[in-house]
Amino acid sequence: MTLSQPSKSYPDRGTAGTRTALHEPVTKVRHRWTAGVVLVNVGINAAFFGPIQVLLGQQAIHFDAANKEGILALVTGCGAAVSLVANPLFGAFSDRTLSRLGRRVPWVLIGSLLGTIGLLGLTVAPGVAAMTALWCLVQLGCNGALAAITAAVPDRVPVRQRGTIGGLASMGATAGILIGAGVAAAVAGNFGLGYLVCAAALMLGIVMYLFTSEDQPLDPALRPAFSLPGFLLSFFSPFAFPDFCWAWLTRFLVNVGNHLVTLYLLFFLMDAVHYADPALGVLILTGIYAVMTLITAVIGGMWTDRAGKRKPFVIGSSVIIALSALILAFFPTWAGALVGAAVLGVGYGAYLAVDFALLTQVLPFAADRGKDMGVINVANSLPQVIAPAVAWFLVTAVNGGYLLLYVVAAVIGLLGAVFVVKIKSVD
C-alpha cells in the first residue's frame, strides 16, 4: 500500500497550471524554500530555549537569589499558558489573512518582531513583573511565527515529501535548541547580552524564508464570513474527526513521556546515579540526545517517504522512546544514562519527523490548516505544563522515586504507540 491522500474534505486541485492557497500541493518544494523553513525553526527555537535553559534563571537570581525557583516558575508558567493560546489563535488568524504576501509570511514576520521586542525588553526589565510580561510577549510572538511556519508545510509540500521536510524542520528546531544553549553558556552570566544574541538569531532566521516563501494569497471569495461564536467553536471542530483526534492524543502522550524522562535528569544524576558533576552530566547527555535526534530526524523522514507508510514508523519510534525510559529505570548508572540518552535521541528524532508528516495528512480542511496545526502544537506545549506536576507526584508525593517515574513514562509513551493504530486514513 502507498501513502493515503489527505482528507476528501480538501478542495479540488483546480485546473492544470493554476494553484490557490487552498489547493493540495503536488509539486516538490525547492531546496531554498526548505532551507528557509529550517532557518525559521532554528531562529525560533534559539529564541525559546536560550532563555528557558539558562538566561531566565540567571535573571531570576539577579532579582532575588533566595526566591529564584519561585520567580522562574512564575515566569515560565505564565509563558507556557500564553503559548497554549497563541499557537492555535495565530494559526487561525493566518488562515484568514488577505495579503499579497500570502497567508503565512505576514505572521512569520509579525510574530518574530514581537518576539524580538520582548527579548530586547528583557535586557532592561526592572523587576519580576516586567520580566514576566516581556517573556509572555516573547512566547506570544514566537508561537505566532511557529504557527505560521508550521502551517506552511501542508500548504506547500506534497504528501510524498512531507516526511523529509518534517525531518529537516525538526533538525532545525534541535539545532536552534543547541544554539540557544550555546549562546547562554558563552555569555557567561551576562544574560542581557544573551537576550540580544537570541533576538538577532530570531530575526536572521526569518530572512531567507521571507524571500523564498512563494506563499499563495488567499482569494477573498474563499474566506468565510466572521462570526465570533463560530470562530471560537472552530478550535474544537477538528476533534469531530476521529483520525485527527487520535493523532493529537498520540502526540500528546508521547510528549508527556518524553518530558517525564528529561525533566528530572539533573536530580536523577545527583540522587540515583551519584554522578560527581550532575550539571556537566546533563550537558553531556543532552548533547548525545541532540546529536542522535538530528541524525534520525532526517533519516526517519526520508525513509518514511520512500516506504510510503507512516504508522509503522510512528509506532516503532514510540517504542524506542519507551525503551529509553526503561533503561534509565532499571540501570541507574552513568553507563545506563549514556545509553538511555542515545536511545531516546534515536527514537524521538524519528518520531518528530514521521509523526509530523502523519499529522499533516489528517487535517480536516485546507482552509483551516494554520488553526488545526496550532491545535496540534498544543499537544507539544501542554505536556510542559502537566509533566512537572506528574513527575513531582510520582517521585515525591508517593515516594516512588525514579524507578516509578521512568516506568510510568514508558507506559505513557507506549500508549501513544498503541493509539496510532486507530488512525484509519493513513497507512
Alpha-carbon Rg for the chain, nearest whole angstrom, is 21
Spatial separation of the C-alpha atoms in residues 346 and 162, rounded to whole Å:
19
**Which pLDDT does position 234 carry in this prediction?**
78
pLDDT > 90 in the chain, percent: 38
Which pairs count as long-range contacts for 220-229, CB under 8 Å and 24+ apart, including other chains? Answer: 220/98, 222/20, 222/21, 222/22, 222/367, 223/96, 223/98, 224/96, 224/367, 226/96
User: Does pLDDT of 379 surpass 60?
Assistant: yes
331 — pLDDT class (breaks 50, 70, 90): very high
Q: What type of residue is 305? A: D
Note the pLDDT tens digit of each residue in 272-296.
999 888 878 877 888 898 899 989 9
Average pLDDT over residues 113-130: 96
Spatial distance between the Cα atoms of 200 and 24, rounded to a whole number of angstroms: 35
Provide the CA 372 distance to its chain's centre, in angstroms.
14
Whether the pLDDT of residue 259 is over 90: the answer is no
Between 381 and 414, residue with greater pLDDT: 414
Predicted local distance difference test score (pLDDT) of residue 139: 94
Query: Cell numbers at residue 209, please?
Result: 524564508
Domains 29-212 and 232-427 share a fold: yes
Question: Is 232-427 a CATH 1.20.1250.20 domain?
Answer: yes
Structurally, at CATH architecture level, domain 29-212 sits in Up-down Bundle (1.20)
What mean pLDDT do residues 150-166 have? 90
What does the domain layout of the chain look like in residue ranges?
29-212, 232-427
* pLDDT over 50 at 191, yes or no: yes
Mean pLDDT score of the chain, rounded to an integer? 86
- Of 221, 212, 165, 166, the C-alpha closest to 20 is 221
376: confidence class by pLDDT, cuts 50, 70, 90: confident
Three-class HEC string of the chain: CCCCCCCCCCCCCCCCCCCCCCCCCCCCCCHHHHHHHHHHHHHHHHHHHHHHHHHHHHHHHHHHHHHHHHHHHHHHHHHHHHHHHHHHHHHHHHHCCCCCCCCCHHHHHHHHHHHHHHHHHHCCCCCHHHHHHHHHHHHHHHHHHHHHHHHHHHHHCCHHHHHHHHHHHHHHHHHHHHHHHHHHHHCCCCHHHHHHHHHHHHHHHHHHHHHHCCCCCCCHHHCCCCCHHHHHHCCCHHHHCHHHHHHHHHHHHHHHHHHHHHHCHHHHHHHHHCCCCHHHHHHHHHHHHHHHHHHHHHHHHHHHHHHCCCHHHHHHHHHHHHHHHHHHHHCCCHHHHHHHHHHHHHHHHHHHHHHHHHHHCCCCCHHHHHHHHHHHHHHHHHHHHHHHHHHHHHHHHCCCHHHHHHHHHHHHHHHHHHHHCCCCCCC
> Does 158 have pLDDT greater than 60?
yes
Alpha-carbon dihedral 295, 301, 302, 303, rounded to 10 degrees = 100
Backbone angles phi, psi at 185, to 5 degrees: -70, -35
Question: Residue 337's pLDDT is what?
Answer: 94
Return the pLDDT at 55: 86
